[in-house]
Amino acid sequence: MLALTILGNNSALSFKNRHQTAQILTTNDQLFLIDCGESTQIQMQRYQIKKNRINHIFISHLHGDHYFGLPGLLNSYGLTNRIEPLHLYGPPQLIEIIELMQKVSDSTFGYELIFHPLRKAEAILDLPALTVSCFPVSHRIPCWGFSFQEKRKPRKIDIEKVDYYRISKNSLTAIKNGEDVLNELGELILNEKITTEGMPPTSYAYCADTLYDESIIPFIEGVDLLYHETTYLDEEREKAAQRFHSTGIQAATIATKANAKKLLIGHFSSKYENLDLFEIEAKTIFKNTSVTVEGTTYLIDKPLR
Amino acid sequence: MLALTILGNNSALSFKNRHQTAQILTTNDQLFLIDCGESTQIQMQRYQIKKNRINHIFISHLHGDHYFGLPGLLNSYGLTNRIEPLHLYGPPQLIEIIELMQKVSDSTFGYELIFHPLRKAEAILDLPALTVSCFPVSHRIPCWGFSFQEKRKPRKIDIEKVDYYRISKNSLTAIKNGEDVLNELGELILNEKITTEGMPPTSYAYCADTLYDESIIPFIEGVDLLYHETTYLDEEREKAAQRFHSTGIQAATIATKANAKKLLIGHFSSKYENLDLFEIEAKTIFKNTSVTVEGTTYLIDKPLR
């Protein structure tokens, strides 16, 4: 199971209590930060995000509303004596900016910052619990989406069944490894009879800032939760295209064509006070749509089969 | 009369509702922004600062807690179609950072940004109502204080006195220019008899981040309001010195030796929850001291003589 917490749902110009883009994806044991607009640190405090559990930060592109909160966050890790290395994924020039800021401040972070430049669609992180890939989206400057795919969890041993089939406890490791085993009577017991399925793996795709672009579909096909930007309502479709952004109808169309299970929309222009209109618009195409709400956590899970 | 509004009173690491350094100095007709920590824009919204009345921004030094809010503010001016040129004063490398951020975002601001690098103690701005000078303070990297000095306002014509002395209205311009004039009886009437003094000019000095350093005194001598940092209480005097910061006692000693009229203290370390201790400490040396409170505006005025 994954969970996504929205720290900012607005586009570049701040609007009342809406903040620039930042999201936290949570697995059991760690947090991933996706984009880091100005004030992300303050939003983390507000929503009690344990920022020391973040070891991987993903920056989609170098428009300020997606990374101006990063330098301050990196500094804060240093000031709070972070020891763990921190992995940062983003466009190659991101590290130039950070290094220049470090140079002029005559500072070091005090922890290891490991930068991973994004250059092509590929797997960029492989952890025991999940993999992360990046894929290009269509924006005015190079911009990346990120896809998070949980790995299938091992089946769980059903200890009552192990007893029922009179299997020696010495076989538990073999069962755990998925093997069929012999019981005390010399009968072969199939692994699936003595184990149950683990929680089904789930997936999340973040499509950053992008034009309507069907070429992203192969990268997000069948995803459990899709985040797609909707800076404008469809009545502003032309302006959206000029500015390399999308509308509610367009996001919902992508979700439909990609067979996504659920759609979250965000990156709203400050001109809109009433965000319900975005949800109403998108739902005409893709019913399972929600407007992102700051501070809200969306669970990404699947029923056991 | 000047007025100073505090947008952030904390040092680098954010603490609860305390923000990084930013101050607004107000004259009758415009605002000056002094330092611009992360989230300054949001603080401006919170305290209803009319950011389009800011034409001059002063950055003391290139530690992030004094300028990480600047790139976002400059972007926002562009997004809201600012036309007025904007003057920015800071260490020379500040413009390198801004230009790099512009380059990677493939953007222009759409208004003219005029950068004034700070290189030595000198007058950096001369307006009809006031002058601004910078002076070096002692920090780990090059760091500047700023001194704002109102100009003496012209005397005001007392129209009842003009009538009383039987002076022709044709002489008003001459009186306004400070001249003595002849009345209808051919008598010479001294200018001071038919005018009253304008509001007395006042002054403000911002000492940024600094060690205790008496060499700044000539630049702030006799100032009406002095802001001096107090990152630590005096019990941490050694740590303060190691980190190129000051204590409450040290700030109050500078205020005393400089014959300041009033002292404001700020840039508190996040380790302190109770800021009253700073005021109590400083007042043992300099009675007219106040702890800066975010959102509070401090008037800088003088009684008419």
Q: Catalytic residue numbers of A?
A: 65
| Domain spanning A2-153+201-300, CATH architecture | 4-Layer Sandwich (3.60)
Q: Could you tell me the pLDDT band of residue A65, with boundaries at 50, 70 and 90?
A: very high
Mean pLDDT of chain A: 95
The pLDDT assigned to A54 comes to 98
* pLDDT score, position B25: 98
> In this predicted structure, what is the pLDDT of residue B175?
94
C-alpha A24: how far from its chain's center? Answer: 7
Q: Hey, what are B209's tokens?
A: 């981040």
Q: Which sequence spans correspond to the domains of chain B?
A: 2-153+199-300, 157-195
Residue B166 pLDDT: 94
Question: How confident is the model at residue B146, as a pLDDT?
Answer: 98
Q: Quick one: pLDDT band at residue A154, thresholds 50, 70, 90? A: confident
Interface contact B105, partner A, CB < 8 A: yes
- Does the distance separating the beta carbons of A68 and B71 come in below 8 Å? yes
What dotted CATH number matches B2-153+199-300? 3.60.15.10
* Residue A71 to chain B, least CA–CA distance (Å): 7
Residue A15 in this model has a pLDDT that exceeds 90: no
CA angle, A201 then A205 then A209, to 5° = 170
The reported pLDDT for the residue numbered A151 is 94
A73-128 pLDDT tens trace: 999 999 999 999 999 999 999 999 999 999 999 999 999 999 999 999 999 999 99
**Do B97 and A96 lie within an 8 Å CB cutoff?**
no
Annotate B24-65 with three-state secondary structure: EEECCCCEEEEEECCCHHHHHHHCCCCHHHEEEEECCCCCHH
Residue A305's pLDDT band (cuts 50, 70, 90): low
**Looking at this predicted complex, what is its ipTM?**
0.89
Residue B231: both structure tokens together: 């990152």
B79 has a chain A CB within 8 A of its CB:
yes
Facing residue for A14 by CB, picked from B14, B45, B93:
B45
Catalytic residues of B: 65
> What is the pLDDT at residue A183?
94
Percent of chain B with pLDDT over 70: 99
The burial class, CB within 10 Å (0-12 / 13-18 / 19+), for B305 is exposed
What pTM does this model have?
A: 0.91
Max CA separation in chain B (angstroms): 75
Collect all residues of chain B within an 8 Å Cβ-Cβ radius of residue A93.
100, 104
Q: CB distance B64–A80 less than 8 Å?
A: no
Query: DSSP letters along B117-161, please?
Result: E--SSEEEEE-SSEEEEEEEE--SS-EEEEEEEEPPPPPEE-HHH
- The beta-carbon neighbor of A104 closest among B12, B16, B62 is B62
Inter-chain touch B105–A63, beta carbons under 8 Å? yes
Collapse the DSSP code of B190 into the 3-class scheme (helix H, G, I; strand E, B; otherwise coil) and give the result. Answer: coil
Q: Could you give the CA distance from residue B156 to residue B199 in angstroms, rounded to a whole number?
A: 10
**Which of B64, B105, B140 has its CB closest to that of A75?**
B64
- Block means of pLDDT (10 residues each) for chain B, 305 residues, are 96 86 93 97 95 97 97 96 97 98 95 98 96 97 98 90 94 92 94 91 96 98 98 97 97 98 97 96 98 97 74
Do A108 and A74 touch, CB atoms closer than 8 A?
Answer: no
Give the minimum alpha-carbon distance from B67 to chain A in angstroms, rounded to a whole number. 10
Write down the pLDDT at residue A239.
Answer: 96
Q: Does B190 touch chain A (CB under 8 A)?
A: no
**Structure confidence by residue, pLDDT tens digits, B270-299:** 999 999 999 999 999 999 999 999 999 999
pLDDT for position B305: 59
